[in-house]
Structure 1
């Protein structure tokens, strides 16, 4: 085989691999993000996020108490320093977590994935239940689908 033939063969094989490679679906990306249990796991999902992606966190307490809402740009987290766990949450422990139930829909070519997880917890001796809802919004970016925004609602009502 001549060098030209070897190069052409390599190009054909590489092209075939690129064309047959399956991109992750929004559902698969969402499941991977939800499965990340630590900082290393989340870092492994970094290429699944849009550079300007935002994460909105909503805490619903009920009993006429206002919701707490926090929003941050996901890319800013890389530059942030580690935050200390507030004293109020030191004794908070999840005791059981269901497998997320996922639903999908597409509106105007924008993919939405919603995952609902039931969580049982113990907090300072009180056993309770909480429903976590993660709403992912995906958009095309650089030839693939990436997370444009995520809203996570922790519902303690």
Structure 2
């Protein structure tokens, strides 16, 4: 009987904490996800994603070259193996990154957040600049705000 009472008290306290905690703004959530640099930081963002969330990646290379594009479900990424894409970018490194420029807008129950940054990089003996644009779509799920989709565009033009 005592374990049931302790459980009920624990559930009541947890519920009160959840109800009084302020929800993180989508802009802050997007910035935190983009600033995650290691596996532990990324794992800390796992509950910010809708279970069916997708990530689309677009690579724009320049005039005369066709864009590359692929997408995957975020939940499938935990089981992903090294892809041709990751192999193709071996030796690629960022040398500098600008501050994120974040804008947000809402339409009905959907929130859109766009984050843009300029990146200096080195790859195969070449130093260049790239513009990265991350477009998040947030929606309400189980009473909270989660990421429904993310489109990341790497623009090397």
Normalised by the length of structure 1, the TM-score is 0.86
Q: 1:60 — aligned with what?
A: 60
Distance 2:14 2:50 in 1: 27
Deviation track 1:116-145 (CA, whole Å, cap 9, x = no partner) reads 010001112211000000000000011110
Relative to structure 1, the CA distance from residue 124 to residue 80 in structure 2 (aligned partners, 3 Å threshold; closer, same or farther) is: closer
The count of residues paired between Structure 1 and Structure 2 equals 151
Q: Secondary structure at the match of 1:129?
A: strand
Q: Secondary structure at the match of 2:24?
A: coil
Q: 2:154 — aligned with what?
A: 154
Please list every run of 5 or more consecutive structure 2 residues that lacks an aligned counterpart in the other structure: 1-8
- Which shows bigger deviation, 130-139 or 119-128? 119-128
Deviation track 1:18-77 (CA, whole Å, cap 9, x = no partner) reads 332101111111011001112222111000000000000000011211100011011111
Quick check: 2:120–2:128 contact (8 Å CA) kept in 1?
Answer: yes
1:124 has 2:113 as partner: no
Normalised by the length of structure 2, the TM-score is 0.86
Structure of larger gyration radius: 1
Kindly state the Cα deviation for residue 82 of structure 1 after the two structures are TM-superposed: 4.5
Q: 2:51 — aligned with what?
A: 51
Please list every run of 5 or more consecutive structure 1 residues that lacks an aligned counterpart in the other structure: 1-8
